[in-house]
Amino acid sequence: MTKAAALLLAGSLALAACASDEEGGDTATGNGGASGDLKIGLAYDEAGRGDKSFNDSAYAGAEAAIDEFGGEVQEVSPNEDGSNRAELLSNLAEQGYNPVIAVGFAYDEVLGEVAPQFPDTVFAQVDGSNADGAKGDNVTGLVFAEEEGSFLAGVAAALKSETGQVGFVGGVESPLIEKFQAGFEAGARAAKPDIVINSQYISPAGDFSGFSDPAKGQIVAQSMFDAGADIVYHAAGGSGTGVFQAAAASGGRAIGVDSDQYQTVEDPALQAVIMTSMLKRVDNAVQAFISDYVDGNVEGATDVLNDLSTEGVGLSDSGGFITDIKGDLDQYRQQIVDGEIEVPTSL
Amino acid sequence: MATSAPSAGGPGQGSSAGASAAGVAPPAVELRGITKRFPGVVANRDIELRVRRGEVHAIVGENGAGKSTLMKTLYGMHRPDEGQILLDGREVHFRSPADAIAAGIGMVHQHFMLADNFTVLENIILGSEPTKGGRLDRAGARRRIGELSDKYALGLEPDVLVEDLGVGDRQRVEIAKVLYRGATTLILDEPTAVLVPQEVDELFGNLNELKREGLTVIFISHKLDEVRRVADSITVIRRGTTVGQADPRTTSVKQLAEMMVGSELPTPETRTSTVRDAVVLQLTDVTVADPVGRPLVNDVDLTVREGEVVGIAGVEGNGQAELVDAIMGLRPLAAGRITLGDEDITCATTRARREAGIGFIPEDRHRQGMLLDAPLWENRVLGHQTRPPAAKGWFIDRRGARTDTERIMRQYDVRAPGPDTLAVALSGGNQQKLIVGREMSAGPRLLIAAHPTRGVDVGAQAVIWELLKDARAEGMGIVLVSADLDELIGLSDTLHVMLRGGLVATVDPRRVTPEELGGYMTGAHTVGAA
Amino acid sequence: MSPILRRTGLALLGPVLAIVVALVISAGVIALIGENPLTALEVMLDLGDTPSQQTQSIVVILNRAVPLFLAGLAVSIAFRMGLFNIGVEGQYRLAAILAAAVGGAVALPGPLHVLVIVAVAVVVGAVWAGIVGVLKVTRGVSEVISSIMLNFIALGLASYLLTGPLRGSEEGASIVTTTPIPESGWFPGLNGLLTGLGLAEPRSQLYGFLLVAVVVGIAVAVLLKRTRFGFDLRASGLSPSAASASGVDARRMVLKTMLLSGAVAGLIGMPDLLGSTHVYGTQFTGGLGFLGIAVALLGRNSPVGIALAALLFAFLDRAALPLQFADIPSSVVTIIQGTIVLAVVIANEVARRLTLRSAERAGARPVAPGGGSAGATGRGNPPPSDDGPPDTTGDRTGVRQEVQR
């Protein structure tokens, strides 16, 4: 983790060095000076804290930053239909929280509205890009190469599958989750060209219940296991528990997502079926961003890409289920990092 | 007058003090000084009632006199504010009907509480199912029902579905249900209201059986001739309190009636014929079918002239309700034609028919005649939404409707605080008077009156009869459907009998007796007399 | 106390009782998780430190209340005639996406553009609800079942349209939207009005659609209370059998009511669409149709009540944020909202019984309106009106069930 952080830090330092001192950098320096007063605003996505997934992961990153620099973190979650997102961000900014980190692509639109109203506040968005600076000069995108991590998950699934059939459960039909699917399918085919892949989504675009509906997750996954799949990868947030339950019920296995779900899931019966998890190191990204901020190195209007090379994404090996194929996995990883394999980001 | 009512031979008036001392068994049921208040009204006041074991004791009084309140007190449905209830000389306190049932009191309600799609056996045991090892003991239940049926000559068939039974049979199932729970005192609330004369006779036969077996029957009614036939003693209630006891053998109907209402009884009799030539309503081959296609009303031809009351007699469920629905446009015709005056209204909507001059007093005022949760003035609007004074263009004329409601209240003696009172707050008689007043106020050519005096007190009944007579004299055509044979015979100019969907007989109301009419209604007489 | 005063008092009793019960329960819950209920209340009532923040809070509450009010109104229209339109959700979502698509596709001068968008929304909402009505009238399908099913279809359809033919956002964007409505199709905000009133300028615009909602609310109130149509509708709700006996065509009434309910439902998405987002996208506020049921219930189906209920819900919704800043879990708000709805159902029943009893008392009070025609009966003196308890037993229970169905 520290290695990744260091890498990230190095990366952003390099970026910051290239860029001249622009407005974002200035303000960051100004505010970051008194590190003892660090007040971090953290606006979560739908499920909020306790999702055992990326909201928790973001918090872990902020926590680590506070351990390092001192200060406090204020967390806020949106209401049920997510209609008060803009208010969350504005209130955090208004109350002097800086930096303000929005977790989730759902903040895309509102960040573009809110950030320009608070030019003195530094914003970051996990899972949202601001490479073109459309959301304002004071917004940094913390993006991940989910397709690369998912590619490795696909490789692992294909290599470990005994039935030659694997599955993918997406939470909500959306470009972000399709990245997971695209990477996973490409990885599985790369490892075993004749693999059968069954990909399904819990809810259609616009209906965000698919990220927090374990019951439906279980139904969807169960149908895959019943159809002959023995390993199912999920990118469905809180619904993932249902996928694990379906795996446990059918004697199959599952691949977790975002955090090391082998560690976070409490039920030993479910733990046993989690073969690996596609890690998305939101914690690292958040921590790195905060330390950049403290150091006055936030540039704004850019993206920080977290991929295999920065260890921003990867596979967990808790439980030791995939140690036997570590060699293959490392090979693929290297090929991706070297650019020999280009992983698709959409279907 | 009430206090001087005949009491000779009554169950020991004046001997109550010495009764127990003399070793005579205490009354099976005794109420002392029962008073029951509802917010703002005293429903029962100083009720004194003594019912001997093994007698049929009638309680008579006008509708609204407080009979039902009294019986609810005795059946544990509410607690009296003052007074005592004694069973066999011991004071009891009922917190719920369950307590009353445990003490041997059973109630047969006026409206049957049976599940149609259950068998007789299932209905009887419903709520007190016998079990054997955790399972329903059907055999045991069947045995006990058989015993009850034999003992009291109820003639029960345990496996028949209740929906296939006639009214009299259903009533016997209700009685069996009460007996099955071990009742020794039965309360029958207006049991003859739904029966034709022949069925009444059968019921009285059953009551005699019960009496012979030592059971006590409390019989609530306002039909005095019936009461005199079946009761061993009579208690009269007026305005919430008992006005005296009477011996049916020595008291005439007239005397009873005077005790009951404190004045003379009204009669439904019409005076001279007012029938004119012009036809108001003409039904030609009217047939109404149920969803399966079976005819509910079969090939009915009916003519109503101006100033004529055409009565339809029949045991309930023989197509009268459907015929009324057909005339009102509430049910589609399978065949036939309906003309109102010169207009063919076969395909007209209910609203169009009402606007063309049909007034409607529905059979069930709660279901079809009123909006119970709405104020009186809105009930005045109901059915007249499109016409002044209820409407003004597209809008409801609130002021006009209110003013006219006040007029109806005055003219038709509707007792209520004002047009903003909710309809639910009115007694049945006052609700009915409002409905009649409303239907009359639009000046219809034809009035469909279905059971216009059902469940209303004698006073309101007289008012309604009087109104129908006046309307007839003014040239209104009236179709009168009723279960009250006296009312039919008294008011009708022409009287048809309906049986199984068809008009089977036309009788002369001036000559026919209720017994004869009953015969036609049950199909016992089949000759169509003129 | 005058009868009118008493009646209003009783009408208010239910909701007030419900809110008090909900507050007590919620206070208990807050105390259980170790927080001070009074602090929580204080936090919820605190609108902000600066005048600008306070105005902003009011704007947030009002902006939230407008769609909630419209949703409650849509549900209540159907409720009034005894129909349970659960399909408001699907009706407004479908209406919003099609209106957004049309608005994004055409270029018209200012007011006309807005009018076209609103008209499309109204028509789509009405048509979608009309399907429910047609199914009920022609096939006897329960409106509860069909409207739930149509919700699924509407959401699926909206999702398909959004990601397919009506997609306006570029390929690969995280949030999929329709083509943005050009500025001529925006509904102007009301901040001028606020500042005109001497309030500080808030951060966001107060939806101009607020005015439309008020007009619609008044129109619906007049329609239901004063017109023949409204009378027929309410009569059908109070007693379908009595209504048809009075000449109301029940089938046509079902259809008309559903069309009207759906038309109002179509407006629910308009405040957001015309006032702030200007597109329909995957982030478009959902669930308002279901909240509308709770709002209608709390407002006891009267437009004024619904307006108050919508404001209350909006207020609670905004309070979720300051609560989080005070480190009190915002789920407190959800608990309060949930308990209010639950308590409302109970309190309404209690209030109904009290109203009934009060009505019985009123009916039982002796009054002698002239007694003029009594003489015609040939009876000497009419008996005083001690008719015993009113005629409320017997089939009364049956009637009740019908009304509530």
Domain boundaries, chain C: 36-327
* Judgement on whether residues B161 and B186 belong to the same structural domain of the protein: yes
Per-residue pLDDT of chain B (530 residues; tens, 9 = 90+): 344 444 443 443 444 444 444 456 788 889 888 888 765 456 788 888 899 888 999 988 766 677 878 888 888 888 888 888 998 888 888 888 888 888 889 888 877 778 888 888 888 888 777 777 777 788 888 888 888 888 888 888 888 888 888 778 888 888 888 888 888 899 988 888 777 778 888 888 888 888 888 889 998 887 777 888 888 999 988 777 888 888 888 887 777 777 776 655 556 665 677 778 888 899 999 999 887 778 888 889 999 998 899 999 887 778 888 999 999 998 888 889 999 988 888 888 899 999 988 999 998 888 888 888 888 999 999 888 888 888 888 898 888 889 999 998 888 888 777 888 888 877 777 888 899 989 988 888 999 999 888 777 767 788 888 888 888 888 899 999 987 788 888 888 899 998 888 888 888 888 887 778 877 887 766 654 43
Q: Does A86 contact C at CB distance below 8 Å?
A: yes
DSSP letter assigned to residue B451: S
Q: Does A182 contact C at CB distance below 8 Å?
A: no
Residues from chain A that touch C175, judged by Cβ atoms under 8 A, are 105-106, 108-109
Residues C109 and B429: their CA atoms lie apart, in Å, by 65
Letter string b/e over residues C162-189, b meaning 16 or more CB atoms within 10 A of that residue's CB: bbeebbbbeeebbbbbbbbbeeebbbeb
Q: How far is C333 from chain A (nearest CA, A)?
A: 9
- Split at pLDDT 50, 70, 90, the class of C71 is very high
Return the percentage of chain A with pLDDT > 70, whole number.
89
* Judgement on whether residues B185 and B297 belong to the same structural domain of the protein: no
Structural domain contains residue B45 = no
pLDDT at res. B24:
64
Q: How far is B407 from chain C (nearest CA, A)?
A: 10
Question: Which regions of B40-175 does DSSP assign to beta strands (E)?
Answer: 41-51, 56-60, 82-87, 90-92, 105-108, 131-132, 135-136
Nearest CA in chain B to C239: B371
Label residue B387 exposed, middle or buried (CB < 10 Å: 0-12, 13-18, 19+): middle
Residues from chain C that touch B382, judged by Cβ atoms under 8 A, are 235, 242-243, 246
Cβ within 8 Å, pair A87-C321: yes
* Judgement on whether residues B174 and B108 belong to the same structural domain of the protein: yes
pLDDT at res. C403:
34
Question: Which is nearest to A133 in space by CA: A304, A305, A300, A306?
Answer: A300
* Judgement on whether residues B195 and B173 belong to the same structural domain of the protein: yes
* Judgement on whether residues B436 and B474 belong to the same structural domain of the protein: no
Which residue among B261, B281, B313 closes a domain?
Answer: B261
Give me the residue from C228, C381, C403 closest to B386, CB to CB: C228
Cβ within 8 Å, pair A81-C318: no
Residues from chain C that touch B110, judged by Cβ atoms under 8 A, are 394
Which residue among B203, B226, B261 closes a domain?
Answer: B261
Label residue A333 exposed, middle or buried (CB < 10 Å: 0-12, 13-18, 19+): buried
Structural domain contains residue B57 = yes
Structural domain contains residue B4 = no
* Judgement on whether residues B98 and B222 belong to the same structural domain of the protein: yes
Instruction: Count other Cβ atoms within 10 Å, centred on residue A223.
Output: 15
Structural domain contains residue B479 = yes
**With 80 as the cut, is the pLDDT of residue A16 above it?**
no
What's the whole-model pTM score? 0.75
Question: Which is nearest to B417 in space by CA: B430, B404, B435, B436?
Answer: B430
**With 70 as the cut, is the pLDDT of residue C116 above it?**
yes
Q: Does A345 contact C at CB distance below 8 Å?
A: yes
Residues A45 and A109: their CA atoms lie apart, in Å, by 14
The most confident of the ranges A220-224, A279-283, B450-454, C371-375 is: A220-224
Q: How far is C311 from chain A (nearest CA, A)?
A: 16
Q: Which one is predicted more confidently, C374 or B235?
A: B235
Residues from chain A that touch C207, judged by Cβ atoms under 8 A, are none
Q: Does C286 contact A at CB distance below 8 Å?
A: yes
Mean pLDDT of A234-259: 91
**With 50 as the cut, is the pLDDT of residue C368 above it?**
no
Nearest CA in chain C to A105: C174
Residues A331 and B526: their CA atoms lie apart, in Å, by 103
pLDDT tens figures, C295-318: 998 888 889 989 999 999 999 889
- Tell me which H or E stretch contains A39: strand A39-43
Q: Please, what is the average pLDDT of chain C?
A: 82
Domain count across chain B: 3
Structural domain contains residue B16 = no
Residues from chain B that touch C348, judged by Cβ atoms under 8 A, are none
Cβ within 8 Å, pair C247-B351: yes
Could you say which of 3.40.50.20, 2.60.120.590, 1.10.3720.10, 3.40.50.2300 is the CATH number of the domain covering A146-279+317-337?
3.40.50.2300
Cβ within 8 Å, pair C388-B350: no
Domain edges within chain A = 2-144+282-306, 146-279+317-337
Give me the residue from A117, A176, A206 closest to C174, CB to CB: A176
Cβ within 8 Å, pair C395-B111: yes
Structural domain contains residue B401 = yes
Give me the residue from A81, A87, A117 closest to C287, CB to CB: A81
Q: Does C140 contact B at CB distance below 8 Å?
A: no
The CATH number covering residue B506 comes to: 3.40.50.300
**What six digits make up the tokens of B457?**
């007190």
pLDDT at res. A133:
84
Mutation choice for C interface testing from B34, B38, B41, B435 by most C CBs within 10 A: B41
The CA distances from residue C345 to B101, C84, C351, in Å, are 34, 15, 10
Q: Do chains B and C touch (3 or more CB pairs under 8 A)?
A: yes
pLDDT tens figures, C203-213: 888 999 999 99
Give me the residue from B355, B369, B396 closest to C242, CB to CB: B369
What SS3 class is residue A49? coil
The fold for domain C36-327 equals: ABC transporter involved in vitamin B12 uptake, BtuC (1.10.3470)
The fold for domain A2-144+282-306 equals: Rossmann fold (3.40.50)
DSSP letter assigned to residue C371: -
B245: containing domain: 53-79+93-261
Which residue among B415, B442, B469 closes a domain?
Answer: B442
Q: Do chains A and C touch (3 or more CB pairs under 8 A)?
A: yes
Q: How far is B459 from chain C (nearest CA, A)?
A: 8
- The ipTM (two decimal places) reads 0.78
